[in-house]
Structure formats: structure tokens, C-alpha cells
Structure 1
Amino acid sequence: MPLLPLIADFLASRATRKPSPHTLAAYRRDLVAVAVLVAGRDPAALPRSGPLPAPDPLAGVCVDAFTGRALRAAFARFAAPRAAASVQRAWSTWNSFFTFLVGEGVVAGNPMLAVARPASQVPLPKPLRGEQTPERLLAAVAVPDGRQRDPWPERDLAVLGLALCAGLRLAELLALRTGSVSGRPGERRVEVAGKGGRVRMIPVEPELDALVEAYLDSRRRRFGARSVEVGGALLVDRWGAPLRRGGLQYLVESCYRRAGVTDRVPRGARLHALRHTFATRLAEDGASASEIMRLLGHASLASSQNYIEVTAGQQRAAIRANRTNRVLGTLLGVPGG
């Protein structure tokens, strides 16, 4: 059978899980990138995004060509210039694709079993550096900045508070509605739509609840009572429109700049540094891996355990930096003292 219609059917089947457009695009990109190698086409001719060029490099390619031997050779070429995480993602995509084809009765077996899978590595947490950095960030953002075109500290604090005190991802923040925070006083919770459609309820302490209410009050003053009707986006821009991905990232980066803490944000973390700070402080204060897993919406306990292990390492590093230890080392002739 021709490959391209099967890829289209697979992507349509994945769409029922409500992945983001970025995720669906990544599935298609990984499938095409390896397929052109199996088909002996030139991967350099592929666009980085968008439709395939004409003539289509995969036109006439059939699924029968994708044997274990062919896929092993293609993945070896695919892996050479790429990081292990990218190869791992592509392997998972192709494995899911052939699992789908087996279920549909298109092929008899999954040839990906013959392709070695890269070792899975849990990325290290990237919290904000500095013990008082979160407090410094919040204190700076709470004060209106005259350099801004339209200061809105209540909204900015709500964003930071939901990330630092509830550990929400960027996509989870954008998905919040005005009715997502609910419950009786003292028992408030925020309903979060996480990865894979998993919904979790995170307890909201009175301080965060007050922060969100102050933001909604300021929004009523700006745009009127109808702007906070249940069902609308919780986080909006300065015109009252729902915040988008780029706008939210820019907002958080501007908060870092105003607080003068850009040098304390791990490279590549941006908003995720706030979520990692939330999780790291949970671990430092004695939360178990299973508690962190539930609060962060992790699918694997290993991801949550990583925060506890890193925190233990940070504590060891702090002890090692103690000047008294260095004095003792000098007195006793211990190497490194």
C-alpha cells in the first residue's frame, strides 16, 4: 500500500487525543524525515516545515519497503547529526505508526522491534538560581513599572503565581478558564488540563487565591464585568484578548528583565524555570515523589524522583561549600581542603 495515505490515516487517528498542532507537526516531520531515507531520497531537499515539495519525494513509496533492515539503516543515518532526545522521539513516532498499522491489519508485524532504541534520559530540572530569586521576582513585578506602555502588575503577578505556586506548564496556563479556580474558601482548587488530556486538581492556598482575585478585579475595571464571565480565557493581553504562546513567553521574559534576574534563569527554561522552581521547593520541603508526580501531572514517577535526587545533590554541594569544612580539610591535610 502507498505510504502517504497511511501516514494521513495515522495522524487523523492521533488527532482524537487532542494533541497540540505542534505535536502533530512533529509526528509528521519525524515520519517524513526517516521515510525519505528509506526511500533513498535526498533529505536536504525537504523543507523545515510546511507541505512537501513537488514532485513529492514520497510519491510511489509503499509500506512494504519499510523492513527492519531498511529502518535500521535509515535510523543510523537519521541519528548521526541529531541529539538522543530527537532520535528517541522519532523512534517512538515510528513505533506508534507501525503499531497503528498492525492494528488496522495493514502489516503483519512491527519492524521497529529490529531498530535499537536510544536510552531514555530524564532531563535535569532547571529551577531559578538563587535562594531568594522567586521572592525578588515577585516583589519587583508587584510594583508598576513606568517604563511599560500599559503596566498591569496584577495580571503579571497572577501568571507568575500560578507557575510558581501551582507548577503549571505554558500550555496549561493558556488553557485556564475564568472558572478553573473553584471551591469554597479554604478549599479552593485549580482544574488543570495537562498533557495527554489528563486533568488534575491542584490545591490553591489563600495567598494565590487572593492574587487571582486581585487580577480579576483589575480586569473588571479595565474591560467591564462581562470580561470575566465563566468560560472565557483566564489570562488575557492588554487588549483583553486571550494570551497566546508567544505573548505569554514575552510577558515572563519581561518580568525577568524588570526584576534584574535574567542571569538567574537557566538557558532554555523561560517559563518552565518557574515550574521547576515549584517542584524543587516541594522536594526541599519534604514532599514525596508520588506527591510531586500528582501535583505536576507527570506520567512517570521517575520524572518526579529526579527533583528529589537533584535536591539532595544541591544540598551536598551546599555542605561542601561550607568554609568550616575547608578549614578542617586544611588542618587535617584532606585533599581539596
Structure 2
Amino acid sequence: MHDSDELSGNLVEEFLADRTSRKPSPHTLQAYRRDLVAVLRLVDDGATPAGWAELPVSGLGPRQLRAAFARFAAPRSPASVHRAWSTWNAFFTFLVAEGVVAGNPMPAVGRPRAPLPLPKPLRGEETPEVLLAAAARVDGRQRDPWPERDLTVVALALCAGLRLSELLALRVASLAGRADERRIEVVGKGGRPRTVPVEPALDGVVRDYLASRARRFGSRSVRPDGALLVDRRGAPLRRGGLQHLVRACFQRAGITDRVPPGAQLHALRHTFATRLAEDGASAAEIMRLLGHASLAASQNYIEVTADQQRAAVRANRTNRSLLRVTAQR
């Protein structure tokens, strides 16, 4: 059992160590630390000579946290405040489990609803096709071109909507099923499994890639339990390598200006979902295919598509002419 006067700085480090064992990204860990420290500074507000790290946990009650979060929220977006609230909720859940505090005060601290992020698909009607064609070509500027592998990565994101973490977790055996019922078995966010149908074209791309991999590294390199995506040395692709590969494909295709800022690989997943919505898929179908936790996230693609359709109609020259005519009446 911990002392209720334990110092906040020590507890933050214990919490982050616990989170580290769950293998989050460095960016996520930095965000945890940033949100915890920012609010702790506002709770302390100069009251403790040594600073926020010396603030005892007994000083983190509902009243203190409500006041700190009110000041924290003033210059920030609702999404940032919601993220910080979630971090603090996880922090206190950890402290309760460790016996440091008797209860979690965060339900008494207000939080804004988290706005759903807008989809960020590739811009341009033919951009996905341009990217696929570029990934499939041998580029003489590359030191060791492997178009079969590059095309597989791009196609799995564009035609199956897989996240970066899901791509890295794929095994050779993740593609399963009979010839006319091929599918990818994916472990998504929160460990939720799902299957995504694989059409013959995508199946053929993956088969060609595995054949090229066997030629490069031998047949033992394509064992069922091996990583599906590997680097040019035959080692499993890592996060940084996969991100670099996708950026290189964008550059070879000449479409870097059509990739929404901050989206990168996720832009391919969003393109998959947006085209599903444009072609009439329901929110429930999109939810199942993308592994969303809620229907609202999937509905977002349909609503954005409807807005885009209305904008296209509004831009129609005849509508503009009608506007001028009615303005003259």
C-alpha cells in the first residue's frame, strides 16, 4: 500500500513505466507525459516551492482538478482537452489499482465530447490508380527495387483498408480461404479480430510478392507463421521502414501534394473507406470492414461524401447561371 502523500512526479513515472510495458508508440508516451505535466503545473500554480513534481497526490482532488482543467481548456481545442482527460482518467485508474488512492476523481471533472476527425483520403479522383501504377513499376533510381513488395503494401492499404499496425502484424497465413473466398484475418485496435474479403486482383498481387520473396530469400522465407511484409534483407518490416516505404511510393508517383498533412499511410485507409461510401456501402458495412469501434466513425465517411456531392452540384455551371438569373429578378 502506498502513502497518500506520495509525490506526483514519482507517480507519473510509475504510470509511464506501466504504459511502456504495453508497447505504445514513443509519440503516445510523450503525449501522456505532456498532458499529465501540463495539468499538474496548473494544479500547483507555484504553491509548491519545488514545483509540480513535489505535489502530493492528496492534493489532486475533484475541486483542484476541475479548476486546473478549466484553465487547461481555455486555449485548447475540445479534442486536446478530451485527450488530456482520458490520460488523467487512465492515470487515476492506475493509482486506484495500485492502492495509492481510494477512488478516481475524474468523473467529477467535466470534459467535452471528442469530435470525430474528418476523413483524410488522397485528393484527386484518379490518384489511387496513379499510386498503384507507380508502386508496380521498377524505378531505376532505387538501389534495390522491389515493386512486388511495394505494390502489396499499397494495395493492402487501398483495397483492404488496413492500419499501419495491422499491416505490421500480418503473417503469411493471414491470407486464408478457398480461391473464390479469400480473406485477410486481421487483429485490429483493442485486439478485436475481423476479416476483410480479398478480391482476385489483390490476391494475385500478394501471391506475386510471395513468389518474388521466395526467389530472393528462398522458400523457407515464406513460412505461414512468418511476417507477411519484410524489408530488403528479409527481416520483418518495422514501423519506420513501412512509413518510409509509403512516402517513397508517394514521391515516385508524384502525388505528395495530394496527400493530406499528417495522414501518410492512413490516407490510403481513408481512401478505401471513402470509396466504399461513394459506391453505396452502408455505415454498418464500413464499420465491419474497417474495424471501427462505433458506428458513428463509419457514418462520418457517408456524411462527408454527401457534403462532397452537394459541393459538386453547387459548383455546376448551370446552378451558377441560375443564381445569376434569380439575382437579376
TM-score after normalising by structure 2: 0.88
Instruction: Decide whether the 8 Å contact of 2:10 with 2:53 is kept in 1.
Output: no
- In structure 2, the CA distance between the partners of 1:315 and 1:6, relative to structure 1 (3 Å rule), is same
Measure the CA separation in 2 of the matches of 1:8 and 1:261: 43
The 5-angstrom pairing of residues 279-290 of structure 1 reads 279-290=273-284
Deviation at 1:312, TM superposition (A): 0.3
Deviation at 1:24, TM superposition (A): 4.9
SS of 1:226's equivalent in the other structure is: helix
Q: Which amino acid aligns with 1:231?
A: D
Report the counterpart of residue 194 of structure 1 in structure 2: 188
SS of 2:125's equivalent in the other structure is: coil
Report the counterpart of residue 156 of structure 2 in structure 1: 162
Greater shift, 324-333 or 148-157, is seen at: 324-333
Report the counterpart of residue 147 of structure 1 in structure 2: 141
Measure the CA separation in 1 of the matches of 2:64 and 2:23: 29
Out of 112, 119, 127, which is 1:125 matched to? 119
Out of 312, 316, 324, which is 1:322 matched to? 316
TM-score after normalising by structure 1: 0.86
Report the counterpart of residue 36 of structure 2 in structure 1: 31
The 5-angstrom pairing of residues 1-337 of structure 1 reads 1=4, 2=6, 3=8, 7=12, 18=22, 20-22=24-26, 23-24=28-29, 26-40=31-45, 58-59=53-54, 61-80=55-74, 82-102=76-96, 106-333=100-327
Greater shift, 290-299 or 97-106, is seen at: 97-106
Deviation at 1:75, TM superposition (A): 2.3
Q: Which amino acid aligns with 1:270?
A: Q
Deviation at 1:97, TM superposition (A): 2.9
SS of 1:202's equivalent in the other structure is: strand
Query: Could you give the per-residue CA deviations for residues 206-229 of structure 1, whole angstroms, max 9, x where no partner exists?
Result: 111111111111111111111111
Q: Which amino acid aligns with 2:312?
A: A
Instruction: Decide whether the 8 Å contact of 1:19 with 1:196 is kept in 2.
Output: no
- In structure 2, the CA distance between the partners of 1:315 and 1:180, relative to structure 1 (3 Å rule), is same
Greater shift, 29-38 or 254-263, is seen at: 29-38
Measure the CA separation in 2 of the matches of 1:15 and 1:196: 16
Greater shift, 161-170 or 111-120, is seen at: 111-120
- In structure 2, the CA distance between the partners of 1:243 and 1:4, relative to structure 1 (3 Å rule), is same
Query: Could you give the per-residue CA deviations for residues 107-126 of structure 1, whole angstroms, max 9, x where no partner exists?
Result: 34432233221231001001
SS of 1:58's equivalent in the other structure is: helix
- 5+ residue gaps in structure 2? none
Measure the CA separation in 2 of the matches of 1:190 and 1:318: 35
Q: Which amino acid aligns with 2:110?
A: A
Query: Could you give the per-residue CA deviations for residues 100-158 of structure 1, whole angstroms, max 9, x where no partner exists?
Result: 44466643443223322123100100111111111111112211111111111111110
- In structure 2, the CA distance between the partners of 1:195 and 1:15, relative to structure 1 (3 Å rule), is farther
Instruction: Decide whether the 8 Å contact of 2:40 with 2:52 is kept in 1.
Output: no
Two-structure CA RMSD over aligned residues (Å):
2.6
Instruction: Decide whether the 8 Å contact of 2:283 with 2:295 is kept in 1.
Output: yes
Deviation at 1:7, TM superposition (A): 4.9
- 5+ residue gaps in structure 1? 43-54
- In structure 2, the CA distance between the partners of 1:74 and 1:142, relative to structure 1 (3 Å rule), is same
Q: Which amino acid aligns with 2:179?
A: P
Query: Could you give the per-residue CA deviations for residues 36-67 of structure 1, whole angstroms, max 9, x where no partner exists?
Result: 4434469xxxxxxxxxxxx99625x4321101
Report the counterpart of residue 50 of structure 1 in structure 2: none
Deviation at 1:331, TM superposition (A): 3.4
In the alignment of these two chains, the number of paired residues is: 321
Instruction: Decide whether the 8 Å contact of 1:194 with 1:200 is kept in 2.
Output: yes
Q: Which amino acid aligns with 1:130?
A: G
